[in-house]
Every structure is written in C-alpha cells, then in structure tokens.
Amino acid sequence: MKAPDKISILLPELFTSFLAVEPRINAAYDIVREESEKAIIEFCKYDHRVTTIVRQGDFSRFVAIAAPDAEESRLRLYCDWCNWVFPYDDLFDNGKLKLDAAAAQAKMQALFANMESAEQGAHTEQCDLTRFHDVIWSRMRASASPGVQRRFLKTMHQFCDAVLKQVFKLAADETPTLSEMLSIRRQSAGVAPLYPLFEYAQALDLPDEFFDSEWVQELEELGMDCALLQNDMLSYFKEEAEGVPHNVVAICRIRGLSAQQAFDHVGNMLDDRLARIESCIATRPQYEDRRLDHEAERYIEGVLNTIRANLYWSFESRRYFGDQADVVRRTRRVEVLKSPAFMGQSSEQLASVVLEQ
C-alpha cells in the first residue's frame, strides 16, 4: 500500500518573550518522578503499552518546571495528577470512549461521585484509573485549604464538561467553528486545574476574593489560551495520526487553510496572547498589603511557569516527537499529512474560511 503523501511545514518560533528563559527544575524531580510513575503503573496494573506511554511521557517533568519550589510531598501529588490526567484524557481523545457519548458521560459521573460525596468511597466504579484519582483527591482534602479544594473541584468540572462536549460533537459528526473550538479547548486542554494544583504545590496563601479580580481572571484565561495553542500545534502530529480532530490546527485545515497557513494562523494567535499577558501583568493593581502583593507576584509566576512548562516539556518528553524532539526544536521543521483523515469530515463546511482570533 502506498504511504500517505506528506508535506513539510515550518513551526512558528515558540521560544519567545518570557518563554526564551530556560526554566528552573524542582530539585526533587528525579526522586518524585520515579515514585509517581511506579505508583500509577502498579495501582492501575498497566500493561507494557500503557507503561511505555507513562514512562516516555515524563509528565513529572512538566510539574517540576511548573512548581520549581514545591516541597516533595506536594510535588508528588501534582505529579500523580498529571500522570493520571493524560491516560484518562486519552480515553476520550483516541480511546474506546471517543465516539461513545453515553459511556463517556457515565465515566465522568463516576469520577465526580466520590469527589462530591461527604463519604469517601461512595461509589462502586471499578475503574482503577478512577480509583487512583480518588486517592489523589483524598490526599488533597487532607492537606489543601478549602479555597484550593473549591477551585480544584470547579476547574475539574470545567475540564470534564468540555471533554464531554468534544465527544458529543464528534459522535454527532459536528464540526465546530474556530471560535467554538477555542472555547471548548480552553477547558478541555486541562490547563485550568493546573492553577489550583500549583497554588497548592507552591503553598501560596491567597484569599478567595483575589480570584474574583478582573485582571486575575484575564491572566488565567490568557494562560489557558497560550498553553492550548502551544499544545495543539505540538500535539497535532500525534493527533493527526490518530484521527483526532478536536485541535485548533485541525479546525483551521478543515475550514480551508493550507497546513502551513493553519500553523501560521495559530502561531499568530499565540503571539497575540503572549503580548496581552505582558500587558495584563504590567497594568495589574498594586496591593497595599505587602504580603498579598508578594503572593500575587508568586501567582503570576505560577501562570507563566505553567505556560513555560507546557512548551519545554513538549520537547523534552517523547510523547509528541519521540527521539526527534531535539531536531524539531532546532529546525522547526515537521512533516504532516497532505490529506489527514479528519479532512473528509463535514466537507460542506470547507468553503467557510473565516477564522476568528
């Protein structure tokens, strides 16, 4: 059988602005990585295939950049969650729940049954992956402030609701516009729960009303956009091979742009968000309470470190580029399919090339 035709594209320059600064790495990274990977592999009784995904993914590297000053036990909880979320999300992206909306919804309901119950172990879900998250949540309840717990639960709902939207749209053969996809991906990319996780890991001390501030909400949304736009460019090659269409680059191509135009457009969207983040930080209010102002600075650093972690981890892990990551970072050159599987979907919409920022 003839191999699919491929075309070469040039990735946008991604190591710009504050992202040009090499990240600090948490000193406990090596120890905690091994402990965390071993824990989920043994708890979930992973076979060789999934074990390889976890090991090569090196999700703890992301955490070590996002929370460089976290003490070991808090770093471990954050690592455990990241080692949990990628395999969990894969169930809905390219796994058995990809097109099964009813089963996907049941899986999500089982996840929240224990999180929202006064009694631990309140449900009968037999999935090891769900039970592993129950353990993470139990540890967070025992050691995190009520505010962190509320923010984590809220962002988990946002994440899971958006993942379900993707499943329902794909099952119904609906192709969203770029603005619709951006709105969904803002939550389904799983960035929002990372904020209370780094707040917890870095032991920040912020009042609840801080998070109601307009500038904080703007910063958080811009941070989510930056991470999802990075992710959708760098994970595109993996997802293209798996026929996963819920990706902003894929939507640009479905909507009529060439592969290079699609990456350029998403790269411009990312540059716009990075510039707006710098403006948001430069114009933020100064708090009279010095302690609060210092904690606000630490929160800003946490959002920036989350974006930085996403970028550097994407090239240090083997999840997206395998052993070619260094070459891709140096040359910015990658090959994509000329006619990916998802291009055959919703062909009646290909005439629409209006792309929203």
Strand partners, 349: none
Per-residue pLDDT of the chain (357 residues; tens, 9 = 90+): 566 799 999 999 999 999 999 999 999 999 999 999 999 999 999 999 999 999 999 999 999 999 999 999 999 999 999 999 999 988 888 788 888 989 999 999 999 998 887 555 555 556 899 999 999 999 999 999 999 999 999 999 999 999 999 888 888 888 888 999 899 999 998 999 999 999 999 999 999 999 999 999 999 999 999 999 999 999 999 889 888 888 999 999 999 999 999 999 999 999 999 999 999 999 999 999 999 999 999 999 999 999 999 999 999 999 999 999 999 999 999 999 998 888 765 433 433 333 343
Q: Which CATH number fits domain 7-341: 1.10.600.10, 1.10.3720.10, 1.10.940.10, 3.50.50.60?
A: 1.10.600.10
Using the Cα atoms of residue 286, residue 292, residue 297 and residue 301 in order, give the sign of their dihedral.
Answer: negative
- CB of 115 within 8 A of CB of 156? yes
Polymer length of the chain: 357
- CB of 170 within 8 A of CB of 93? no
Instruction: Give the C-alpha separation, 243 to 221, whole Å.
Output: 28
The whole-model pTM stands at 0.92
Q: Where are the domains of the chain?
A: 7-341
- What stretches of the chain show up as alpha helix (H) in DSSP? 29-43, 48-57, 59-66, 72-93, 101-115, 128-143, 146-171, 178-188, 194-201, 214-234, 236-242, 248-254, 259-282, 290-316, 325-331
Residue position matching structure tokens 């989920």: 40
